[in-house]
């Protein structure tokens, strides 16, 4: 071992011992999905602590000169079959009793056990050094290398936090109202049984308000069951915050809900609060299902799960290139489904997978933090077939290994960490909306494709809104960029209305055997609802200089190469309570949207004059000004007035009535271009987590004015991102100045002001757009592709459960004329693709 000892001595200065805060990647290769369990194991650089599979360790050595690597290999031990297998979205065989993950009684997490082998490998000769070998080496070598090895093995892997962790949905916080809850001395005593809602006589899902003892029914659930919201309405009328669910009271506790805190809570004084109304907590018995039990039951609607996952048929597993499963990292099925579909699209394949060698060669020193590298790594992992191999079922210690139906697959831990970093939702292990993640990922692609091809252009299209003033018959045309068509679901067009009414009547009569009937909605009715004219009752017409009625018609100004249709199953009721529509829609395999092509200004049609309407002045907003040519910060008299934005005050009022902050409502209307309550509501739902959600609306104006951002302080990175989307630098400057240099808001602003950008004449330094581009006309907007409006269906994503925040996603993709179901690690030939139950549908253009 003399030569090896000398080599170790020569590289000893490059061998580090991990310190707190060091990122140790000992579970996954930075450039591939190789792991210690893979053939060849994983090599961890003993200097940077980056992990590399055998395919890439030589490349890292050649690039950095690093010679010492810790080689980790793991072999899975045999284990007993568990009868509580809930992996890959299947309803568990053993019913969970807790809303939890990785906890006794909860949804089980499959934990593998491994035998591990660790040694030091010296490149390029690949000389191996074991712990026993180190014992014969000089003290300085033995101590330094041993400490590094022990430190790497003891350190928490970066991926550890991203694995399925223990999560207990029943862990609740003490209510802020519990300690000092006000209780009325009204003499009311509640009997131990026989409760009824005091308003509607309902006998189940009953809640007693802990302030006045009122017994009222609970909320209506997503699926239409539950109560009639009378307990909630009582809180809204009185402000009494806490209620206990009757029938869940036992000596151990009960379900307590805080309407003010909008969550299930703990009440440490529950026994005292119940005693006030004559209830002895120690003698009570459970007669109702707890909220946890109800949530588990509702989230496992077996009929929907079985149909979408094709559980009733024996599915044939598939393996090979493009047929790679993805491990569920804990509610990551939304990410798995979206990325499976995206990497069937040539634009994403060509951008990332075809150029993977070049991308890896150009990767930064820490490729785990590079967007292009991690997307390319994921794409290659899905398409190469290297990881599309049957997982072995080791059985017991004496049993032979046999292939299982699922795959080894890939675990996209680094990718999930990168794309979710800093995001309040996608950085968590909670379930998410696949549509929201798709838009989030497209936005990241836009930001990172500042030069060269941009695969998100495959989805980008222009929508034209034509608004006709009914009084003057003059028209206004505006265009905006979209990536997804949101298709409304007209429930009144159901073709099985009688069956629905009969089932509803039986449920209201308490018939527990009433079947679940799914509304049958024609796809043509959904398209008609999308394309029909919208009546605007409060439109400000520049032709008549007053508010009047108008009609709004929306059409496609361009047709994208790939069309995404979202079925708006998740909506709001009349009381703005979220609900999911349980519908079946006969979505066609082919689609012709040619009739929805926008035609632009009609012959002989007059346009509405470009006259600014009077400013909207809200009484509780202080109107400030901008400094005049001789003004100063102290003298408000020298400010010239800054007009408020032109906003639809009726839409602002409607949003305020829903409880949203005034400034947030004003921004929602402003950034959606006064296009109506639906688009404004969508903006609010997408920006509620913004740090400046309730901050005052920043108006576009001069660079020296308060509320605007000086040009010199604008982010060059933000400017480059917007320019890469096809806009001029001057247009990007105006958008960022109008939105305080916030990129997301600037993109929203620029897409809602496309009609204003062509006439924009002032930009940075006072130069015109034409001057700044060397006399060339500025581009009219973002780059869009166009072609025939004929499409064929090639993929769809389905959701099971009552809300986008829970349940499970799977996707079906058509490959070589065969539908394939991707259910996390399970990839199988589809026998009965449930095309009528999809949530997101993906079409590709048909060229004749």
Q: Which residue has the higher pLDDT, 197 or 104?
A: 197
Contact 411, 33 (CB under 8 A): yes
Of these residues, 449, 808, 811, 828, which one is catalytic?
A: 808
Could you read off the pLDDT of 783-830 as tens digits, one per residue? 889 999 999 999 999 998 777 667 889 999 999 999 999 999 999 999
Residue 823 backbone zone (phi > 0: left; psi -120 to 50: alpha; other: beta): beta
What CATH number should be reported for the domain whose range is 2-77+112-168? 3.30.40.10
- Using a 10 angstrom Cβ sphere, with 0-12 exposed, 13-18 middle and 19 or more buried, the burial of residue 805 is middle
3-state helix/strand/coil string of 772-787: HCCCCCCCCCCCCCCC
pLDDT value at residue 660 = 78
pLDDT digits (tens, 9 = 90+) for 208-262: 999 999 999 987 654 456 788 899 999 999 999 999 999 999 888 899 999 988 8
Mean pLDDT across the stretch 36-48? 94
Confidence check: pLDDT of 549 > 50: yes
Rounded distance between C-alpha atoms, residue 466 and residue 471, angstroms: 15
Q: Where are the domains of the chain?
A: 2-77+112-168, 173-299, 333-391+405-451, 461-576+590-596, 625-772
Are 519 and 584 within 8 A, CB to CB? Answer: yes
Task: Indicate the burial class of 221 (C-beta count within 10 angstroms; 0-12, 13-18, 19 or more).
Answer: middle
Contact predicate 244/281, CB 8 Å = no
Does 61 qualify as catalytic in the annotation?
no
Mean pLDDT over residues 657-684, rounded? Answer: 80
221 is in an annotated binding site: yes
Q: How far apart are CA 533 and CA 454, in angstroms?
A: 34
Give me the sign of the Cα torsion angle 428, 429, 431, 433: positive
- Chain segment 18-32, per-residue pLDDT in tens: 988 889 999 999 999
In 3D space, the residue among 217, 194, 190 whose CA is nearest the CA of residue 280 turns out to be 190
Give the C-alpha separation, 169 to 265, whole Å. Answer: 12
Distance of alpha carbon 601 from alpha carbon 475, whole angstroms: 8
Burial of residue 109 (number of CB atoms within 10 Å: 0-12, 13-18, 19+): middle
Q: What is the pLDDT of residues 321-337, one digit of tens each?
A: 999 999 988 788 999 99
H or E stretch covering 499: helix 497-508
Compute φ and ψ for 520, nearest 5 degrees: -95, 110
Backbone angles phi, psi at 178, to 5 degrees: -65, -45
- Annotated ligand binding at 809? The verdict is no
User: How many CB atoms within 10 Å of residue 286?
Assistant: 12
**Annotation marks residue 828 as catalytic:** no
Q: How confident is the model at residue 302 (pLDDT cuts 50, 70, 90)?
A: very low
d(CA 455, CA 561): 11
Q: Which long-range contacts (CB under 8 A, 24 or more apart) does 197-200 make?
A: 197/227, 197/228, 197/230, 198/230, 199/228, 199/230, 200/228, 200/230
pLDDT for the residue numbered 623? 35
Is 220 among the annotated ligand-binding positions?
Answer: yes
> How far apart are alpha carbons 340 and 342 in whole angstroms?
6
Work out whether strand 206-209 and strand 215-217 pair parallel, antiparallel, or are unpaired: antiparallel
What's the pLDDT score for residue 597?
96
Quote the percentage of the chain above a pLDDT of 90: 48
The DSSP secondary structure of 679-748, one letter per residue, reads: HHHHHHHHHTT-TTTTSPPPPP--TTSTTS--GGGS-HHHHHHHHHTT--HHHHHHHHHHTTT-HHHHHH
* pLDDT, mean over the chain: 80
Mean pLDDT, residues 353-360 taken together? 94
The answer to whether 67 is annotated as binding is no
* Other Cβ atoms within 10 Å of 275 Cβ, number: 12
Which residue, 567, 573, 698, is CA-closest to 626? 698
- pLDDT at position 108 over 60: no
- CA–CA separation, 796 vs 790, rounded Å? 17
Peptide bond into 266 cis (omega under 30): no
pLDDT of residue 287: 82
Query: What is the C-alpha separation between 491 and 497, in angstroms, rounded?
Result: 9
Question: Which one of 162-171, 598-607, 609-618 scores highest in mean pLDDT?
Answer: 598-607
pLDDT at 739: 75
Of 29, 177, 273, 333, the active-site residue reads 333
Q: Model confidence at 291, in pLDDT bands (50, 70, 90)?
A: low
pLDDT beyond 80 at 272: yes
Mean pLDDT for the stretch of residues 660-675: 80
**What CATH number should be reported for the domain whose range is 461-576+590-596?**
3.90.70.10
Residue 737 marked ligand-binding: no
**161 vs 375, more confident:** 375
Residue 763 has pLDDT above 70, yes or no: no
Distance of CA 471 to the CA centre of its chain: 43
**What tokens appear for 119 in the block?**
């040694």
230 is in an annotated binding site: yes
Task: State yes or no: 262 annotated in a binding site.
Answer: yes
Could you report the per-residue pLDDT of 475-531, keeping only the tens digit for each? Answer: 999 988 899 999 999 999 999 999 988 888 887 777 767 777 899 999 999 999 999
- 393 neighbors 402 (Cβ within 8 angstroms): yes
The tokens describing 614, both together, are: 């009077």
Question: What's the pLDDT score for residue 715?
Answer: 77
Tokens 């829970």, located at residue: 806
Picking from 125, 149, 158, 208, the residue whose alpha carbon sits closest to that of residue 18 is 149
Please count the other Cβ atoms lying within 10 Å of the Cβ belonging to residue 637. 7
Arithmetic mean of pLDDT, 156-160: 68
Sign of CA dihedral 273, 279, 282, 287: negative
Asked if residue 99 has pLDDT above 70, the reply is no
Count of residues making up the chain: 848
Angle at Cα 95 formed by Cα 91 and Cα 99, nearest 5°? 90
Q: Are strands 562-567 and 485-487 parallel, antiparallel or unpaired?
A: parallel
CB atoms within 10 A of CB 691: 7
Q: Name the residue with higher pLDDT: 471 or 220.
A: 471
477 labelled as ligand-binding? no
Q: Check residues 611 and 80 and name the one with the higher pLDDT.
A: 611
419 burial via Cβ count (<10 Å: 0-12, 13-18, 19+): buried
pLDDT at 782: 67
Fold of 173-299: Herpes Virus-1 (3.30.40)
Helix, strand and coil content of the chain, in percent to the nearest 5, comes to 30, 20, 50
With 0-12 / 13-18 / 19 or more C-beta atoms within 10 angstroms meaning exposed / middle / buried, residue 712 is exposed
Q: Do domains 2-77+112-168 and 461-576+590-596 have the same CATH topology?
A: no
Q: Rounded mean pLDDT of 394-423?
A: 72
Please give the pLDDT value at position 653: 75
The contacts of residue 22 (CB under 8 Å, 6+ apart) are 49, 155
Q: What's the pLDDT at 759?
A: 46
pLDDT in tens, 640-665: 333 445 677 778 877 876 767 878 88
pLDDT digits (tens, 9 = 90+) for 432-463: 899 999 999 998 998 888 677 899 999 999 99
pLDDT band at 190 (very low <50, low <70, confident <90, very high): very high
709 contacts 734 by C-beta, under 8 angstroms: no
Does 839 show up as a binding residue in the annotation? no
**Residue 674 vs residues 436, 537, 643: alpha-carbon distances, Å:** 23, 13, 17
What's the CA gap between 623 and 328, in Å, rounded?
52
CA distances from 447 to 31, 359, 457, 718, 721 (A): 22, 17, 13, 8, 5
Q: Which residues of 479-514 are buried (b: 16+ CB within 10 A; e: fewer)?
A: bbbbbbbebbbeeebbeeeeebeebeeeeeeeeeee
Half-sphere exposure of 221 (CA within 13 A, CB side): 14
| 259 belongs to an annotated ligand binding site | yes
d(CA 395, CA 401): 7
Closest C-alpha among 421, 326, 333, 342 to residue 376: 342
Mean pLDDT is lowest, of 290-299, 418-427, 590-599, 755-764, for 755-764
pLDDT of residue 311: 60
Q: Which of 775, 14, 710, 795 is nearest to 338 (CA)?
A: 795
Q: In 3D, which of 674, 740, 663 has the Cα closest to residue 705?
A: 740
Q: Tell whether 200 is in a known binding site.
A: yes
**pLDDT at position 612, please?**
56
Helix (H) or strand (E) holding 526: helix 523-531
Mean pLDDT in residue range 678-688: 79
């Amino acid at each position: 071992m003399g030569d090896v000892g000398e080599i170790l001595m020569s590289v000893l200065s490059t061998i580090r011992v991990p310190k707190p805060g060091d990122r140790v990647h000992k579970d996954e290769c930075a450039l591939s999905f190789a792991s210690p369990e893979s053939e060849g194991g994983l090599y961890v650089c003993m200097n940077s602590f980056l992990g590399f599979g055998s395919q890439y360790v030589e490349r890292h050595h050649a690039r950095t000169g690093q010679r010492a690597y810790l080689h980790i290999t793991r072999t899975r031990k045999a284990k007993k079959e568990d009868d509580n297998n809930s992996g890959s979205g299947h309803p568990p065989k053993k019913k969970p009793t807790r809303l939890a993950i990785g906890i006794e009684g909860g949804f089980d997490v499959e934990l593998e056990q491994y035998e591990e082998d660790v040694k030091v490998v010296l490149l390029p000769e690949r000389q191996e050094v074991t712990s026993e070998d180190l014992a014969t080496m000089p003290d300085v070598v033995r101590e330094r290398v041993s400490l590094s090895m022990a430190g790497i093995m003891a350190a928490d892997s970066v991926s550890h936090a991203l694995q399925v962790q223990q999560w207990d949905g029943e862990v609740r916080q003490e209510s802020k109202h519990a300690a000092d809850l006000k209780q009325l001395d009204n003499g009311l005593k509640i009997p131990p049984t026989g409760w009824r809602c005091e308003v509607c006589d309902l006998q189940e899902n009953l809640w007693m308000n802990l302030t006045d003892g009122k017994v009222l029914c609970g909320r209506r659930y997503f699926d239409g069951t539950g109560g009639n919201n009378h307990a909630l309405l009582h809180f809204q009328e009185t402000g009494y915050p806490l209620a206990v669910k009757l029938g869940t009271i036992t000596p151990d506790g009960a379900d307590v809900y805080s309407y003010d805190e909008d969550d299930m809570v703990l009440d440490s004084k529950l026994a005292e609060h119940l005693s006030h109304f004559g209830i002895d907590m120690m003698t009570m018995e459970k007669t109702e299902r707890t909220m946890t039990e109800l949530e588990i039951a509702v989230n496992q609607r077996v009929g929907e799960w079985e149909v979408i996952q094709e559980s009733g048929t024996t599915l044939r597993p598939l393996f090979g290139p493009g047929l790679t499963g993805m491990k569920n990292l804990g509610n990551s099925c939304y990410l798995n489904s979206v990325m499976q579909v995206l990497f069937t699209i040539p634009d994403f394949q060509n951008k990332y997978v075809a150029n993977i060698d070049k991308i890896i060669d150009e990767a930064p020193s820490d490729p785990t933090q590079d967007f292009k590298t991690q997307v390319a790594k994921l794409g290659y992992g899905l398409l190469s077939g290297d990881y599309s191999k049957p997982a072995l079922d080791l059985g017991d210690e004496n049993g032979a290994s046999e292939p299982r139906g699922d795959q080894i697959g890939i675990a996209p831990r680094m990718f999930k960490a990168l794309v979710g970093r800093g995001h309040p939702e996608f950085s968590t292990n909670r379930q998410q909306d696949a549509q929201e993640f798709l838009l989030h990922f497209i936005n990241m692609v836009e930001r990172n494709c500042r030069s060269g091809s941009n695969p998100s252009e495959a989805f980008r299209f222009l929508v034209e809104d034509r608004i006709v003033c009914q009084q003057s018959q003059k028209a206004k045309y505006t265009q905006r960029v979209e990536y997804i068509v949101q298709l409304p679901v007209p429930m009144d067009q159901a073709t099985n209305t009688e069956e629905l009414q009969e089932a509803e009547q039986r449920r209201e009569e308490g018939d527990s055997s009433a079947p679940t009937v799914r509304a049958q909605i024609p796809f043509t009715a959904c398209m008609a609802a999308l394309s029909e004219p919208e009546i605007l009752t409060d439109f400000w017409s520049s032709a008549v200089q007053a508010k009047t009625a108008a009609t709004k018609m929306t059409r496609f100004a361009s047709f994208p190469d790939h069309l995404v249709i979202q079925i708006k199953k998740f909506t709001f009721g009349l009381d703005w309570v979220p609900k999911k529509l349980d519908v079946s829609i006969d979505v066609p395999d082919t689609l012709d949207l040619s009739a929805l092509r926008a035609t632009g200004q009609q012959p002989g049609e007059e346009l509405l004059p470009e006259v600014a309407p009077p400013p909207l002045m809200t009484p509780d907003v202080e109107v400030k000004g901008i400094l005049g040519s001789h003004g100063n910060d102290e003298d408000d008299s020298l400010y010239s007035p800054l007009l408020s934005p032109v906003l639809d005050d009726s839409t602002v009022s409607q949003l305020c009535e829903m409880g949203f902050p005034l400034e947030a409502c004003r921004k929602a209307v402003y950034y959606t271009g006064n296009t109506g309550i639906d688009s404004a509501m969508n903006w609010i739902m997408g920006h509620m987590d913004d740090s400046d959600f309730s901050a005052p609306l920043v108006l576009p104006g001069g660079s020296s004015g308060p509320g605007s951002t000086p040009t010199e302080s604008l982010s060059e990175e933000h400017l480059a991102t917007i320019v890469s989307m096809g806009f001029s630098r001057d247009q990007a400057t105006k958008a960022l100045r109008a939105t305080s240099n916030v990129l997301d808001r600037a993109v929203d602003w620029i897409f809602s002001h496309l009609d204003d950008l062509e006439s924009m004449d002032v930009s940075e330094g006072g130069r015109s757009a034409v001057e700044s581009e060397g006399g060339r006309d500025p581009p009219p907007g973002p780059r869009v592709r166009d072609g025939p409006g004929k499409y064929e269906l090639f993929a769809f994503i389905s959701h099971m459960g009552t809300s986008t925040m829970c349940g499970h996603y799977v996707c079906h993709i058509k490959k070589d004329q065969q539908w394939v179901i991707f259910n996390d690690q399970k990839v199988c030939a589809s026998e009965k693709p449930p095309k009528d139950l999809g949530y997101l549908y993906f079409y590709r253009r048909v060229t004749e």
